[in-house]
Amino acid sequence: MEQVTKEKILVKVAFTNEVEAFPSDAPEDHAHIIDNRLFPYFYPIRTKKIDVKIWDAVVTLFHKCGHLDIFRRDDQTTQLIFKLKGRELDTSVVLQKKGRSVQIGRNIDDGRYEWFWFMSCKIADDGAWRVVRAASEKRFKREVEVTTEDGTTSTKRRTFIKRIDADTNELRAEFAREMAHFLMRSRCFNAATWKKIVHTRLTDQPRKEGDWLELPWTYE
């Protein structure tokens, strides 16, 4: 019997005109300010897919945190780091803008400090965004045989990590949508839940060692 797969219902997001530089009627590949009051936070993700762009989520987050002015300056590098309160050593969300490049990452510090999601975007002179690189690390469990020092063999479940690099525009867009959805649903702008760390410097100035998080990819 042929299995029928139901497509998820696509749910649009609403924008606001509270920032003149980011109008709600701007082209789809330009950044908008998401109307936080109308965002479908509680839609079931198994049956519905939120049509949210990564550039809309990033600009909205910068706006909510009071750092939207960095998009008016290309000579400045700013890195926003969000750590979940009570779990500061477990998960971080990083947004960084340098010139006309933006990087977004989510890492998990479980002793290896690995990046779980990571992507890089470029902003064109006319304000259009595009995702140029994207990667995700999928974690899965598998049963393996383990031999102890006394020669005893047993079966244990171990966690493995597989990195997936998006090699098509469609896959990059899907990774970006999932990351954007995570940024909005996590509400990183909520100071009661997340601790915010901000680093800012002129791009031609050296950064302070130990302050800035090392990102996997350099700007091209």
pLDDT in tens, 12-55: 889 999 999 999 999 999 999 999 887 776 665 555 677 889 99
The C-alpha atoms of residue 127 and residue 71 are separated, in whole angstroms, by: 10
Contact 138, 114 (CB under 8 A): no
pTM confidence score: 0.78
The C-alpha atoms of residue 107 and residue 178 are separated, in whole angstroms, by: 15
pLDDT in tens, 168-215: 888 888 888 888 988 888 888 888 888 888 888 777 777 665 566 666
pLDDT in tens, 101-137: 999 988 766 544 456 778 899 999 999 999 998 887 7
Residue 174: half-sphere exposure toward Cβ, Cα within 13 Å: 9
Token pair of 64 as six digits? 């909510």
The C-alpha atoms of residue 159 and residue 108 are separated, in whole angstroms, by: 14
Handedness of CA 180, 63, 199, 75 (dihedral sign): positive
